[in-house]
């Protein structure tokens, strides 16, 4: 890959006043277009507010590396994990065309799970940003993915221990439904180390082939397990109406009773979703005012 990357053309991507190079390729251009469109507004505002308080980020589900490069442009050391072999090639190319940022970034071509394992990865299309360990997922209807090959997972808790995460670490989790298995597996470390935590939840990837009632029960059970795994944090944050809304310790129980059972519309998904949806953040201290 190195010999090829040395010859790659690149172009500049500027998002929220931060610029870096991206590999000049149609797949990367499509991902960059969505990244800069406002689709990731909540995530990027969270990074802008929190990264100045931190010294590194762990990016689980790095895809083609745009969040990784954005964090690195803040001066962060970033460890980026992407199990899809195809997406990892685009990720590597994007890092290589940024020689000023590359020394801050470490790439890992495997995923994370509750334990070490070898599993099948499924994709709905070429270089799919939603590749997951679930063969059937819900979008406009139930969609059956094609095999994208066997991938290696490494135990998430072991990774965090080796990384020596702390309150000056941002842990970003965007792993297409596997978060429901990973969060309970790292609950003890979260309680001990309290990194800033940003999770993209994908209930629509769970139980998509089941009866709607059974699917809802399964998704709610998984949401409760995620809530239990993150109960160690004092604050929960949701991105609502263009800003981050904070639920403090005194309000969390009432919030969860209302929110988890409330049907929520999710873009490009047919049925209402229950439990956590979209991006949710957790912290042991309030978010900075600029979030």
- Specify the 3-state DSSP secondary structure of 188: helix
DSSP-assigned beta bridge partners for residue 264: 273
- Phi first, then psi, for residue 255 (nearest 5°) are -60, -50
pLDDT tens for 96-149 read: 999 999 999 999 999 999 999 999 999 999 999 999 999 999 999 999 999 999
Tokens, residue 156: 């998430």
Q: Is 120 part of a structural domain of the chain?
A: no
The model carries a pTM of: 0.95
What's the 3-state SS for 157-177? Answer: HHHHHHHCCCCCEEEEECCCC
* pLDDT surpassing 50 at residue 4: no
pLDDT at 98: 98
pLDDT (mean) for 15-43: 95
- Residue 8 — pLDDT band, cuts 50, 70, 90? confident
Residue 82 and residue 88 in contact, taking contact as beta carbons nearer than 8 Å:
yes
Give pLDDT, residue 7: 66
Q: What is the pLDDT of residues 162-174, one digit of tens each?
A: 999 999 999 999 9
Report yes or no on 130 lying in a domain: no
Residues 180-193, mean pLDDT to the nearest whole number: 98
Q: Is residue 139 part of a domain?
A: no
| Structural domains counted in the chain | 1
CATH number at residue 64: 3.40.50.150
Is residue 266 included in any domain, yes or no? Answer: yes
Please report, for residues 19, 61, 88, 147, the alpha-carbon distance to residue 72 in angstroms, rounded to integers and kept in the order given. 11, 16, 17, 32
Show the domain range for 23: 2-112+156-283
The answer to whether residue 291 is domain-embedded is no
Does residue 151 belong to any structural domain of this protein? Answer: no
213-265 tens-digit pLDDT: 999 999 999 999 999 999 999 999 999 988 999 999 999 999 999 999 999 99
pLDDT range class, residue 2, cuts 50, 70, 90: very low
Look at residue 17 and tell me if it is in a domain. Answer: yes
Residue 260 contacts residue 236 (beta carbons within 8 Å): no
CA angle 45, 289, 69 (to 5 degrees): 25
Decide: helix, strand or coil at residue 67.
helix
- How would you label 216-255 residue by residue, b for 16+ Cβ within 10 Å and e otherwise? bebbeebbebbbebbebbebbbbbeeeebeebeeeebeee
Give the closest residue to 129 by CA, choosing from 148, 156, 112. Answer: 148
Q: Is residue 136 part of a domain?
A: no
> Is the per-residue pLDDT at 6 higher than 80?
no
Q: Give the Cα separation of 166 and 159 in Å (integer).
A: 13
Q: What's the pLDDT tens digit per position in 65-93? A: 999 999 999 999 999 999 999 999 999 99
CB 46 within 8 A of CB 130: no
């Amino acid at each position: 890959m190195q010999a090829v990357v040395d010859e790659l053309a690149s172009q500049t991507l500027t998002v929220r006043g931060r610029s870096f190079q991206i590999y000049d390729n149609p797949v990367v251009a499509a991902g960059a277009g969505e990244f800069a469109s406002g689709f990731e507004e909540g995530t990027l505002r969270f990074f802008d507010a929190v990264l100045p308080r931190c010294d590194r980020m762990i990016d689980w589900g790095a895809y083609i590396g745009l969040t990784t490069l954005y964090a690195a442009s803040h001066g962060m050391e970033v460890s980026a994990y992407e199990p899809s072999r195809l997406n990892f090639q685009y990720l590597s190319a994007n890092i290589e065309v940024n020689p000023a940022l590359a020394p801050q970034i470490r790439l890992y071509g495997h995923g994370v799970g509750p334990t070490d394992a070898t599993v099948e990865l499924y994709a709905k299309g070429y270089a799919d940003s939603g590749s997951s360990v679930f063969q059937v997922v819900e979008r406009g209807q139930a969609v059956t993915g094609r095999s994208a090959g066997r991938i290696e997972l490494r135990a998430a808790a072991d990774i965090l221990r080796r990384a020596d995460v702390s309150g000056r670490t941002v842990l970003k989790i965007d792993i297409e439904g596997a978060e429901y298995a990973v969060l309970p597996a790292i609950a003890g470390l979260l309680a001990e180390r309290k990194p800033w935590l940003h999770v993209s939840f994908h209930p629509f990837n769970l139980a998509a082939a089941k009866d709607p009632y059974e699917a809802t029960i399964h998704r709610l059970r998984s949401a409760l397990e995620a809530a239990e795994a993150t109960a160690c944090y004092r604050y929960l944050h949701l991105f609502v109406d263009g800003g981050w809304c904070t639920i403090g310790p005194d309000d969390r129980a009432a919030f969860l009773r209302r929110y988890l059972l409330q049907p929520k519309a999710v873009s490009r998904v047919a049925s209402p979703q229950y439990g956590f949806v979209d991006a949710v953040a957790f912290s042991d201290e309030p978010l900075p005012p600029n979030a």
